[in-house]
Amino acid sequence: MQDRPSVSELLDAVRAFLEEEVVPALEGPRQFHARVAANVLSIVGRELAGEETSLLAEWERLARVLNEASAPPARLEALRAAVRARTAALAERIRRGEADAGPFRAAVRAHVRATVEEKLRVANPRFGKATLDAR
C-alpha cells in the first residue's frame, strides 16, 4: 500500500477533475454521465470513510435484535461477512413470521430503519434524519 496519495485523495482528485474540467466541457447526455460519475466517486469516498463504523453499528444492532452476544470480528473483511451472515439469519426469522408482531417486530423495524438511514446518508448526505422523519 502506498502512503500518498491515499485512496481518499485519489477519489477526490478524480472527482474534482470531472467536476471542474470535464463536466463544463461537455453537453447533453455526456455532461450528465460525467456528473453521475463524479457523484459515484463521492459516494464511494463516503462509504470507504465510514464503512467500519457503519458495519460495527449494524453488527451491534443485529446482536441486540437476534439476542446474540459476542465480540465483533477484528478484521474488516470478517466483519463484512459476519454482518451478512447475521442479516441472513434475521431474514430467515422474518420469513418464518417471527417479526409479524410483538417486541421482535419492533426491534426489527428499528434495526432496519437505522440501517437504511445510514445507507441513505452515504448515498446522499443531504438526505438526513429530518427528511426521513417528514415521510
Digit-coded pLDDT (tens) for 83-105 = 999 999 999 999 999 999 999 99
Query: What pLDDT sits at residue 2?
Result: 64
C-alpha grid cell, residue 54: 457503519
For residue 1, the model assigns a pLDDT of: 55
Q: Is a pLDDT exceeding 60 seen at residue 130? A: no
Q: Which residue has the cell 457523484?
A: 39
Whether the CB-CB separation of 53 and 114 falls below 8 Å is answered with no
Q: Is residue 74 scored above 80 in pLDDT?
A: yes
Q: Domain extents for the chain?
A: 7-134
